[in-house]
Amino acid sequence: MNSSHLLGITTFAYLLASVLYIAIFVFRAQKLGLIASVVTLAGFLIQTGGIILRWIESYKMGFGHAPLSNMYESLVFFAWAIAIFYLWLELKFKNRLIGAFAVPFAFVSMAYAALGTNVQQEIRPLVPALQSNWLIAHVVTCFIGYAAFAVACGLGIMYLLKDRKSSTPGLIDTLPDLKVIDDITHKTLVFGFIWLSAGIITGAIWANSAWGTYWSWDPKETWSLITWFVYATALHARFVRGWGGRKIAWIAIIGFLSVIFTYYGVNFLLSGLHSYGSG
């Protein structure tokens, strides 16, 4: 069995987990809770094995680089980071309803990695710009931050659903209290912001090593900075002005749209030094 088989199984595991978590929310099927958690954990462990195996396969082909070098591999790692972050949230806050709004992001990432027409799944040698020891540090820090922002987006959607006065009471009442959702969203945003900041710093060091400058206003760099400011503004407004509730929920959603454009849109819509990551 090769890495592709394991990662394919992971995709179906996250799909099944998403369906189970949504069923818990929609049908109040609490009995499915343990099954959903086990399926998510199993998918995460299988995916971990797939990532390790792909790394080994890279070594056998003579490349020897971490599986973090192109769109396919970054999508896989993105899903992996979402899964482990969600599992940690579930363990910490003892609430599986979050899974209905978080795990689908992991499934969509894996599904696009498998089915995207412009996603190259082959293991290829690194382009010169990626031949750096900073590759792992930069990609890992950025995508842990991205994963946290994905979950925060799901929490923002959860908050807005709970806050809607016209919603069906029977369904929405199963969600945690607004204060609880708001608190988890805030903590998730802080976590993601710290990791994104680390990602930008490691990226700047890497850029200096590869291109001789810490910052070149490349489209990817520019949009990373825009995304950083979106979340920095949200956290500043919360600490200074006491923002919370719907405002933070909307920023969590809008901020993640900025993340998606930074990660995906820039590669295909704007040419720049990071264009090698579009394949």
pLDDT in tens, 71-111: 999 999 999 999 999 999 999 999 999 999 999 999 999 99
| For residue 270, pLDDT beyond 90 | no
Does residue 223 contact residue 188 with C-beta atoms inside 8 Å?
A: no
pLDDT at 29 over 90: no
Position with higher pLDDT, 51 vs 135: 51
pLDDT averaged over every residue in the chain: 91
Q: What are phi and psi of 243, to 5 degrees?
A: -60, 145
* pLDDT band (50, 70, 90) for residue 132: confident
Angle between helices 178-211 and 134-163 (to 10 degrees): 160
pLDDT over 80 (residue 7): yes
Rounded Cα distance, 159 and 146, in Å: 20
pLDDT tens track for 210-260: 778 888 888 888 999 999 999 999 999 999 988 889 999 999 999 999 999
- Residue 271 confidence (pLDDT): 56
The answer, yes or no, to whether residue 276 has pLDDT greater than 50, is: no
Q: What is the pLDDT of residues 142-197, one digit of tens each?
A: 999 999 999 999 999 999 999 986 455 567 888 999 999 999 999 999 999 999 99
Q: Are 80 and 49 in contact (CB under 8 A)?
A: no
Nearest partner of 224 among 267, 263, 273, judged by Cα: 263
Length of the chain: 279
Per-residue pLDDT band for 279 (boundaries 50, 70, 90) equals: low
Range in 61-75, 204-218, 262-276 with the lowest mean pLDDT: 262-276
